[in-house]
Amino acid sequence: MNDRVLNFRFDKRTPERLDKFLVGQLQEFSRSRIQGLIADGFVDVNSDTAKKAGQTLESGFHVTVRIPPPAPTDLIAEDIPLDILFENDDLIVVNKPAGMVVHPAAGHASGTLVNAILGYDPELEGIGGEERPGVVHRLDKETSGLILLAKNERAHRWLQDQFRLRKVEKTYLALVDGKPPTPSGRVEAYIGRDPSHRKRMAIVPESRGREAISEYRTAESFKDHTWLEVHPITGRTHQIRLHCAFLGCPIVGDQIYGKKHPSIKLGRHFLHAYRLKIMLPGEKKPQIFEAPLPDELARVLTSLRAH
């Protein structure tokens, strides 16, 4: 497969950065992807290889972009059943089960959501990057629920922007040990890598972390537990799990940030991505997707209500 070659002429009176100009011309690509093409020598200005993303264009300049085909990967398409809740030409909405990793990584070379989605739709290979085709956002391995996968570059960029600009309304359901200090509230606590355990995250000072905001409300109270509805405003790694632990009410079954010996035998942590409200490409009204609470979590609630 050969490179795709595109030619543009810059006709604006006011000079402009090369990457900014190309973002407007190649709307299916993110700014970072365009900057990568420039850095890798795939962009020419007036027949010379572009020097940098911030190179200034002036009226009459010619820009040539070569878009290479997706690099071959080691990803294997696998025939793994998927619970697909919605699909159109731009995206697939999947209800991910607990125990499934989103994309291959060390220790998880197969059996992931990416392996499954490539088995379902091989055309997704290369969308948004070779290693994580179609992936827009992530869920932890033991977190069940809604996850979106883009089917083309334009949709991938659009959906990523919706998450990055905090335009997506996310609702998670969590059962926690004990209860939060107030029935509802807002947590603002910075998150960064745990300096003592590199595979864990931690609440850290502002200078060492990234802003993380979650809002919550009590959905139901029990003797020793509370069922919460959590709305993460940001999307940091392990955010809800850390914020619940920070409030003094860790998620049931979370043996990393909560009790080492779970208060309820479950085999996973009680966290479920229940609802997403998001504007889809080309639509004027947001769509709402919901994934029902898995049976093993629903049974826990039934048992608690019986006591």
Residue positions annotated with a catalytic role? 140
SS3 112: coil
Task: Identify the burial level of 81 via C-beta atoms within 10 angstroms of its C-beta, where 0-12 means exposed, 13-18 middle and 19 or more buried.
Answer: exposed
What is the rounded end-to-end Cα distance, in angstroms, of the chain?
64
- What are the CB-based long-range contacts (under 8 Å, 24+) for 211-215? 212/187, 212/188, 212/236, 212/239, 212/242, 212/243, 213/186, 213/187, 213/188, 214/186, 214/187, 214/239, 214/240, 214/243, 215/184, 215/185, 215/186, 215/187
Per the listing, tokens 């979106």 go with 148
Distance of CA 259 to the CA centre of its chain: 27
Segment holding 202, helix H or strand E: strand 197-203
